Amino acid sequence: MKEKTKIAIIGSGNIGTDLMIKILRLSPSLEMSVMVGIDPNSDGLARAKRMGVATCHTGIDGLLQMPEWKDIEIVFDATSARAHHYNWEKVKAFPDKRMIDLTPAAIGPYLIPPVNFQDNIDVPNLNMVTCGGQATIPIVAAVNQVAKVHYGEIVASISSKSAGPGTRANIDEFTETTAEAIEKVGGAEKGKAIIILNPAEPPLVMRDTVFTLSEEADRSAIKDSIAKMVQEVQKYVPGYALHQEVQFDVIPEDKPVFIEGLGYRQGLKTTVLLKVEGAGHYLPPYAGNLDIMTSAARATGEYLVAAHAKQ
C-alpha cells in the first residue's frame, strides 16, 4: 500500500484545527505531519499533541528547522492574508512543496475543486478563495455552462459566532477576493459579493443566495446543471444543499437593469438559495462557512495526490 502524502498545517486556530481533524479522521491519502502555530498555549496545538501530531509554536520559520520538513509535500496555510505573504516567501524556495492557501491572500490562482481543478494541477500555490466563494461560485459556473452569465452576485450569511478574529480581520479581502473569483472562475462578466454576520440565537447555519443574470436559456438545462454541481460539492461537503427550488425571472428588453461596469442588460435572472451545515468535527454544525473551507482544502489536497499518482 502506497504511503500517504505528508502535510503540514500553518495556523492552529479554528480552521487549521478543523482541517487537522478532518485529515486525521477521513483522508485516505493525506497524513498529518506537523501542526504549526504562534501561540504555544493554543487549543489547536494542544489537540495536535494529544492526537500524536508533531507541533511547532514558532511559525513557518520554526517548521523549516524541524526534521519533518524534508518529507512534507503539501503545506496548508490557515492563517491570515497578511501572514500568507510571509509564509509563501519561505515555502516557495522549496520547489518540491505545494501550498494550499485558505486565506484571502490570492497569491496563486483561485481554486474551486469541481470547477477548475484540472486547470491548476501543477500550480505551486492554490488559493481556496473564501467560504462564500466555495459555496456559491460552483453555482455561478453551473449557470454559465448553459448560458453566458453577465452578472453574478452572492450574499453569504454566517453566524457571528462562527466568525473568528481571522474572518473579521479579512472582511474587505473577502468581498474583493470573492467578487473577482466570481468572474475568473465562475465565468461572470461582473461579480459582486456581500457577507452578513448574523447575530441570531440560537446560531443559524450558513445561508447563501446566488443571483445571476444571463442570456436566455432553457430553464430545465440550468436546473440540471445546478443539480449536478450540487452533487459534486456534496462529495466533500455532505451538508451542502439547495434550500429551495431554483427560481427564474425574465428581465425584458424594454425594462433592462443597470449593472455598474456593464451598463443596461436584459436576460434571465436565476436565484439559487443554499444552506451549508458543518460536519461537527471540531466546529459546531452551524459553522458551515468554516467547514466548507476546510473540506474544500482537504479535497484539493487529495485531488492533487491522485492526479500526480496518475502521471
- Catalytic positions: 131
257 strand-pairing partners: 265
176 strand-pairing partners: none
Q: What is the largest CA-CA distance in the chain?
A: 68
Q: Which residue has the cell 516557495?
A: 92
